[in-house]
Amino acid sequence: MLPNPGSTERTQIHRLNDRAVTDRSVMYEILDSTVLCHIGYVEDGQPFVLPYGYARHGDSILIHGSTGARFMRAMAAGAPVCVTVTKLDGIVIARSTFDSSMNYRTVVILGVAEEVTGAEKETLMDAMSDGLVPGRVAEVRPSLKKELAATMLVRLSLAEASVKVRDGGVDEDRVGYATDEDFNAVWAGVIPLRTVADAPIPADDASASLPLPASVAAFVANPKA
């Protein structure tokens, strides 16, 4: 069994550690609720942070891209990476800018990815696609061999990860206000944020004449972004 989030020396949360979460099920819930991560690595002394689609598969995440992409080749070759996934749930508006904050859920993953090859690659490529839009693989033709050959798939273990969550209202004191009346004259609260999906746009007349696929309808009803 993999260690709990935040249990390694590199993933322990020190700043605002009351927001640290060690429950793996919370980490899975965050990772399963979105499809976008940001991956950081260093090449020749230059840091890079790139956005990539991903999908969780058990105790790892899957990332795919072109075999010609320099970054994908670097990961496959063993470059250490830092992957972050963040859900922004609200803007916390306090009576001072100092006490204002954000409500968020975030996962940080450290490690070295491994390239997935052979028969496992085709299986996990389907898992990756269904992780992005659940049920879509069954609605489309199978991937061609040349498409699989042009695509690199890597897997990154969730063995070394941390989870941090801020979920609440305004946390502030009355410093800087002479009276309760002055304090109560300034609005404070939370602006909740959520992801919504607009109506799907057909690619062409042929698609417009067809019923909306079940996978697309389900995604619109419960978008992952």
- Check: pTM over 0.75? Answer yes or no: yes
Three-state DSSP class for residue 17: helix
Whether 163 shows a pLDDT value over 80: the answer reads yes
Give the integer Cα–Cα distance in Å for 148 and 115. 13
Structure tokens at 214: 């079940």
pLDDT score of 156: 98
Give the integer Cα–Cα distance in Å for 85 and 65. 18
Three-state DSSP class for residue 26: helix
Q: What is the mean pLDDT of residues 134-158?
A: 97
Whether 6 shows a pLDDT value over 90: the answer reads no
Specify the residue for token string 């069994």. 1
Q: How far apart are the first and last CA of the chain?
A: 29
pLDDT score of 223: 94
The amino acid at residue 90 is G
Q: What is the mean pLDDT of residues 119-130?
A: 96
Structure tokens at 199: 């109506």
pLDDT digits (tens, 9 = 90+) for 193-209: 999 999 999 999 999 99
| Residues 207-224 as b or e (16 or more Cβ within 10 Å = b) | eeeeeebebbeebeeeeb
| Residues 126-139 as b or e (16 or more Cβ within 10 Å = b) | ebbbbbbbbebbee
In the chain, the domains with their CATH numbers are 17-173+181-194 (2.30.110.10)
Three-state DSSP class for residue 77: coil
pLDDT score of 175: 85
pLDDT digits (tens, 9 = 90+) for 9-50: 888 888 878 888 889 999 999 999 999 999 999 999 999 999
Instruction: Output DSSP code: residue 143.
Output: P
